[in-house]
Structure formats: structure tokens, C-alpha cells
Amino acid sequence: MSTLFEPYQLRSLTIPNRMWMAPMDQYSAAPEGPTTGLPADWHLAHQGARAAGGAGLILTEGTGVSPAGRTTPFDLGIWTDEQIPGFQRITGLLTSLGTVPGIQLSHSGRKGSTDRQWLGGEPLGPERGGWQVVGPSAIAAGEGHPVPAALTHTDIDQIVGQFAAAARRVAAAGYKVVELLAGHGYLIHQFLSPHSNRRTDDYGGSFENRTRFALRVVDAVRAVWPDGLPLFVRVSATDWLTENPEDVREGWTVDDTVRLARVLKEHGVDLLNVSSGGLVPDAKIAVGPGYQVPFAARLRAEAGIPVAAVGMITEPDQAAKILADSEADAILMGRELLRRPSWPLDAAKALGGEVRVPPQYRRAYPR
């Protein structure tokens, strides 16, 4: 039987299998009023279906640590204690279905203040609920996007504190895994990459300086997150600039990520969720089945840290082979779980494995 169906232990937490749901923004929180940033019935239905379908871990989508940390006015957020009960509805449901509840904490930086993705994701002005975006440097996310305000040291201190406060709240809400978004062009990634970070102070220039903000956030969260529970970090292994010999722009590389991974392990990070890209809009990305798996495999081998592979992993035998070949410790799926909420149960049938089935569904999965 494939290790896809085996439990996975991280610190004192046991995750029932290696088939996990990646965080995927739903842009469905209430945009205004006292319920701003709260999960809606949509989130319960969305995550509950995948939990009933056998996912061992579900990561709630990128959740803003402040109002300005959201990507859109419709994102989830957890910047006040009044928001905790709304998230307890999700953790209670997932736990009752035997799935480990996790959540991704994020700050959008210069990628914030935009419309919903399916409406084009264009920047929003204040008349449409938008806000002033920020970043490590005054460099826009892309053509047509506003120039962000460069963060001061005081601003940076405040955001580090917001990550820590959000981690305390998600622990109180019942989450068992917290993941920090340090990829896909969001704020932590913006500090990491020399493409977006042109600072000349102690947060820019050298590798050590550009990683300083990321490590401060990790340390602040690890200090308040329960010692027995795991801390994940989602990284973009590359900006996809150095892979293109015709592109002379400087960016974040796989070598940089290996180096960072070793440091993150020393700072108490338990697993890396390995993705790529998201910072440079016109980067040429070589997309194909499992195209990001080699990045995960290299981090696992060279940094000695557990990793989850993600990106166009769609078939049970493909996922099983990734684990069998020691390229990853777990599989994180996004779009495929949107298409097939019961993918883990389908995988069990295809590969002869065992996955927990809610009693209400057992008649559909005879053993």
C-alpha cells in the first residue's frame, strides 16, 4: 500500500494521511460591516466537502493578519479576537470529520487592494474599498498597479507583531497547523527577492538582510505557537528568471531557497510547502504535470527538511510515485480537489489503500 495512506507525524501532531488540501483563496468573506474577514457558509461547505472526501489536512486559505494584509476586501482575516468564533466553526467541523485543520497566515504587501480574481483582479481605489499598499521598496507589483509605500522599521516591527497576534488567535480557534505565506509574490517573498527588494538598510542587499524579515516573522510566530504543533512555511522556490537564459533580471533562485530552508529548519520550521513563481508577472514558467516536484525533492535532499509537493499533481499513481521516490513527504493539492472533492477516496479505490469514510458515506465505499 502506498505511503499516501499512512499517517504522518510532526511534533506531537498525527495527520491521518499524506493527501492534503492546499490553501486556495475563495474571495468570499463579507467585505464590510462587523463581520469583515469572517468565514462564511461557503467556507464550511467548501472545506467540509473535502474533509468528507478524505483529506488528511486542510489548510484554510491565506488569511490576512491585518486589514491591509489582505489581497482583496473579500479575503479572510484574523486581526481581532472578535473573529475567532467564526474560525472555530471551521475547525470544529473539520475535526469532527477526522481532518486536521490548518490555516495559512499572510500579508499581501504590494499585491493587496485588488478586486476578486474572477473579476480580473484589478487594483481597487479607496472609493471601492481599496487601501494604500506597502512593500519593502517603492516598486509596483506590475503594470497598472500602484506604487507601494516603502515600509519603515516601525512598520516592519508592527507587521511582525501582527503575525504573532494572528498565530495566537488561530491557536485559540482550534487550528493545529499554521503556515506562513512566504511565496507567490506576497510580502515575505517581496523582501526575499532582489527583484522587489531594493532596500539599502539592514532589510535589503545581502541574502542575510533580505531574509531578516522572514526569520523575524518565523521566530515571532514560533514563540507563541504551541510547541507541540507544527509550523509550515510556503515558499516560492524560484522567481523563474534564472531558468530563462534570455532573462537577465535578478531574482530569487532555487539555490537561495535551499539556503533559506536550512536556516528555517534551525528556527523551528517543520515543513516547507514548495511552490514557485508569483512575483514577476511576465516570468516564463515551464508548466507541466508535477513541474514543481523537483524543487521539493531538492529541498528535502539538500536541506534535510520535510516538504510537501504541489502543482499539477492530479493522478493517484503520480502522487504515490512522488512519495515512493522520496521526492516529498506529502502531497498538497489545489485545483484537482476543486474538481474532485473525494480525490483521496478515489485514490484509495485505485491503489488499494484505506481512507476514513464518514458513516453517512460508507454505503458508497464498500470494503
Catalytic residues, which ones?
A: 186
Cell numbers for 55, please give them. Answer: 483529506
* 169-to-30, 141, 177 alpha-carbon distances in Å: 19, 30, 13
Instruction: Count other Cβ atoms within 10 Å, centred on residue 364.
Output: 9
Which of 216, 218, 217, 214 shows the shortest CA–CA distance to 236?
A: 214
The Cα 233–Cα 9 span in angstroms is 17
Q: Which residues contact 366 (CB under 8 A, 6 or more apart)?
A: none
Cell numbers for 253, please give them. Answer: 533562485
What's the number of CA atoms in the CB half-sphere (13 Å) around residue 157? 3
* 66-to-76, 268, 276 alpha-carbon distances in Å: 10, 24, 25
The Cα 26–Cα 54 span in angstroms is 21
**Any idea which residue has 475547525 for its cell?**
91
The Cα 207–Cα 188 span in angstroms is 13
* Per-position DSSP letters for 270-319, written without gaps between them: -EEEEE---S-TT------TTTTHHHHHHHHHHH---EEE-SS--SHHHH
Cell numbers for 193, please give them. Answer: 527577492
